[in-house]
Structure 1
Amino acid sequence: MKHKSISYAKWGYIFIIPFFVAFILFNLIPLVSTFYNSLFENYKGRGGLVQVGPNFIGLDNFRTMFAPETELGKYFGNTFVLWILGFIPQIFFSLLFASWFTDLRMKLKTGAYKVIFYLPNVIMAAAMGMLFYTMFAQNGPINSIYMSITGKDSPYMFFDNVWSQRSVIAIINFLMWYGNTTIMLMAAINGVDPSLYESAQIDGATPSQTFWKITLPLIRPILLYVLITSLIGGLQMYDVPQIITKNGEQVQRTSMTVVMYLQKHLYSKNYGMAGALSVILFVVAAVLSLIVFYVTTEREPKKKVKKGGIK
């Protein structure tokens, strides 16, 4: 007798249905709606008493966003500066700690360190912002230490200086995310074949040579993932600079990010302008991610085809 074979292929499709349903409801539909709203004039006028629109105006919202008086380039510049200031120490210390904790010769127990490093990531960004705002305030503990060491009678105004304000924001972002990056890099390094390290050790390679010639090239995909996700997260930076800079108004808006500027349009219920800015932010994030992916991805050299075969 012939037995009918059992196909399990359908269960794979059934299991991924919840993801696609959630993606369509909470990602795709809002994304399309944002594109749609960016083409309309829709806001509250006369102190919020009169509703203007929605009126179709095409690309006028985008023209307004790119006007010189809008200073959109300034806010993008602020965002990138704050992201770079936090990302450089983040990736440096994450690579350093990941290489230490995965080195079998050091014999470090990583369980407790993983918890300690990841703990700041669990704390809400708003709580971290308030903590550091209190620490670096005029009467905070940092200024008390500063005055006791230097002997000065007046505190240093951290939030009235451009770079000290940006540095505080960068420190918070670094402390919140370096633990998560460290754990991901540790997982990537642990996935490297140990025989490669054993061969390098037998050949007399130093730890630095092993890191640069074996570890770093083999964890390139995870480094690329960390870089792109950090870049997208940096473009969405909001809560920490919002608390530190008091809505971004301090020091001539030199630490106001793009999302902070977007929030002002949402607060004023200027939905058309907010939609246009969201679309611009989406396009910038997509283009930068593609550029990073293209620059950091190795490409095989093209083979020259000649008569009689491939060279």
Structure 2
Amino acid sequence: MKKTNSSVSIRTKSVLTGWSFVLLAVILIFVFYFYPMLQALILSFQTGTGSNLTFTGFDNYSRLLSDKTFITSVKNTFIYLLVQVPLMIVLALFISVLLNDSKLKFKGFFRTAIFLPCVTSLVAYSVVFKYLFAGNGLVNTMLLKLHLVSAPIEWITDPFWAKITIIIAITWRWTGYNMIFYLSALQNIDSSIYEAARIDGASASRQFFGITVPLLKPIILFTSITSTIGTLQLFDEVMNITKGGPGNATQTISQYIYNLSFKYSADFGYAATVSYSIVIMIALLSVIQFKVAGDKNG
């Protein structure tokens, strides 16, 4: 009996010791993460200007369906998502395979050069892109000198080309970030697998689609989900390059939330509702991606 009490005491002491290490972190996460989320959820059921709020139930959520600006923002965001994310994932995967080649010289330089964009300031690089793609910017100057175009392209002021500019900007910045994940995973694949495939006569493309892609499936799923989340929250590039224009042609959901909170009359309740629409979209798209990838835990 004494032995049992002793073992329980040791186990209790061990549990308490463990909690003493994580308790502060748990409290901070709750206070600065979960509590604001709960408050935002409560706020989404209220309406009013500034702090003068009243409870209105699901009125804000029903308002979303008839809000043309919100619908336009969702369409723009999904255009970026459907075009840029697959493009970035394919580019990152292709570049990582090239940089994993043991015969390639100056690999360290190339890896660093491609990764560097994702550590630059969001605002700084957005401003640089704005000037590069201006009517008289470097991009138009080069295109005209190479006789690829007969007149400057309106990269910033034309609705179609403005979206292309945003897609180019975020692809440039985040491709290297995803490349690092793929490169790390590739270096953990046993080279003997490829040697056996070569002995069996498998071509380079057959090895890529038959060995590399299946083995990188968990990483591809991870980068797809994180890239989807990042694109649905896209704000800095649009705000600094096009300011959502021309009109609302490039405005994203996050920029619309900012406008509702700080640019228009401060409707924090409806802004919180739009914010939770992103949460719902992320949850649904993540589940779909898990199902498409065949992940049993999804």
Q: TM-score, normalised by structure 2?
A: 0.87
Q: Quick check: 1:64–1:70 contact (8 Å CA) kept in 2?
A: no
Q: Distance in 2 between matches of 1:295 and 1:154?
A: 44
Once the two structures are superposed, the pairs formed by residues 152-301 of structure 1 within 5 Å of their partners are: 155-246=152-243, 248-250=244-246, 252-267=247-262, 268-298=265-295
Q: Give the drift of 1:88.
A: 2.9
Q: Which deviates more, 273-282 or 22-31?
A: 22-31
Q: Distance in 2 between matches of 1:154 and 1:205?
A: 48
Q: Which deviates more, 143-152 or 212-221?
A: 143-152
Once the two structures are superposed, the pairs formed by residues 118-137 of structure 1 within 5 Å of their partners are: 118-137=115-134
Q: Give the drift of 1:299.
A: 5.5
Q: Give the drift of 1:164.
A: 1.2
The corresponding residue for 1:79 is 77
Q: Give the drift of 1:109.
A: 4.6
Q: Give the drift of 1:87.
A: 2.1
Secondary structure in 1 aligned to 2:57?
coil
Q: 1:18–1:188: structure 2 CA closer, same or farther, 3 Å change rule?
A: farther
Letter in 2 for 1:62: Y
Q: Quick check: 1:188–1:222 contact (8 Å CA) kept in 2?
A: yes
Q: Give the drift of 1:143.
A: 2.5
The corresponding residue for 2:41 is 35
Letter in 1 for 2:44: S
Q: Quick check: 2:96–2:183 contact (8 Å CA) kept in 1?
A: yes
Q: Quick check: 2:159–2:245 contact (8 Å CA) kept in 1?
A: no
Query: Whose helix fraction is larger, Structure 1's or Structure 2's?
Result: 2
Q: Give the drift of 1:137.
A: 1.1
Count of aligned pairs: 287
Q: Distance in 2 between matches of 1:195 and 1:24?
A: 47
Letter in 1 for 2:245: E
Q: Which structure 2 segments of 5+ residues have no match?
A: none
Deviation sequence 1:55-86 (CA, Å, 0-9, x none): 1111111112221x434222111001123332
Q: Distance in 1 between matches of 2:149 and 2:109?
A: 41
Secondary structure in 2 aligned to 1:160?
coil
Letter in 2 for 1:135: L
Q: Quick check: 1:38–1:272 contact (8 Å CA) kept in 2?
A: yes
Q: Give the drift of 1:107.
A: 4.4
Letter in 1 for 2:274: L
Deviation sequence 1:73-116 (CA, Å, 0-9, x none): 22111001123332233112211111122233x24453222211
Q: 1:207–1:15: structure 2 CA closer, same or farther, 3 Å change rule?
A: farther
Q: 1:233–1:107: structure 2 CA closer, same or farther, 3 Å change rule?
A: same
Q: 1:181–1:152: structure 2 CA closer, same or farther, 3 Å change rule?
A: closer
Identity within the alignment, %: 27
Q: Distance in 2 between matches of 1:239 and 1:142?
A: 21
Q: Which structure 1 segments of 5+ residues have no match?
A: 45-50, 301-311
Q: Quick check: 1:83–1:170 contact (8 Å CA) kept in 2?
A: no
Q: TM-score, normalised by structure 1?
A: 0.84
Q: Quick check: 2:69–2:248 contact (8 Å CA) kept in 1?
A: no
Q: Give the drift of 1:243.
A: 1.6
Q: Distance in 2 between matches of 1:185 and 1:169?
A: 24
